């Protein structure tokens, strides 16, 4: 039996718009295809405070259980997603970034070292921060996140833990 989760998608970019946000479009589509709901979607510039201003209400919203971001995880001066979001985590999912970089290595070699993909839990909301390229987003969704949001994936998944996150 599938458990539908309420999700939000945030694209972090100085250049993306609703007309050319391929990574955000991809995430929205695969979330829906997996039986979950996209409750919120937005695009913000790569600025620590703009990111926090968008994501904080989603974290506070009891109806949103998962947030997926795309963009801002690189190593350039403007990339600030990890700095903006990691301070909001109650717990970091350390293995998420590690596994993402390991899987990416098969595709892009040592360039994966520049990825600062992160995951965590904030106010009982799962958050996964992915790079901005659609290929990277597909890697993160298909090889990690999709299964972790599927209550039927064994031996364990985050979907089955979501009710327990609320038990503080």
pLDDT in tens, 74-96: 888 889 999 999 999 999 999 99
Residues in the chain: 168
Q: Which CATH number fits domain 6-165: 3.40.1010.10, 3.40.50.300, 3.40.1210.10, 3.40.980.10?
A: 3.40.980.10
pLDDT at position 90: 96
Q: Given pLDDT bands bounded at 50, 70 and 90, which one contains residue 1?
A: low
The values of phi and psi at residue 107, to 5°, are -95, -40
Rounded distance, CA 22 to CA 133, Å?
8
pTM above threshold 0.85: yes
Q: Is 35 left (phi over 0), alpha (psi -120 to 50) or beta?
A: left
């Amino acid at each position: 039996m599938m458990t539908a989760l309420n999700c939000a998608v945030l694209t972090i970019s100085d250049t993306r718009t609703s007309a050319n946000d391929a990574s955000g479009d991809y995430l929205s589509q695969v979330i829906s295809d997996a039986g979950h709901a996209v409750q919120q979607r937005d695009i913000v510039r790569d600025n620590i405070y703009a990111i926090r201003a968008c994501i904080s209400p989603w974290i506070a919203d009891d109806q949103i259980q998962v947030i997926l971001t795309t963009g801002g995880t690189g190593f350039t001066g403007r990339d600030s997603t990890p700095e903006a979001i990691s301070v909001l985590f109650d717990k970091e999912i350390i293995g998420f970034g590690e596994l993402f970089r390991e899987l990416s290595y098969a595709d892009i070699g040592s360039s994966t070292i520049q990825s600062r993909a992160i995951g965590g839990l904030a106010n009982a909301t799962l958050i996964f921060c992915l790079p901005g390229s659609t290929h990277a987003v597909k890697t993160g969704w298909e090889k990690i996140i999709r299964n972790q949001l599927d209550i039927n994936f064994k031996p364990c998944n985050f979907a089955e833990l979501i009710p327990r996150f609320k038990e503080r």
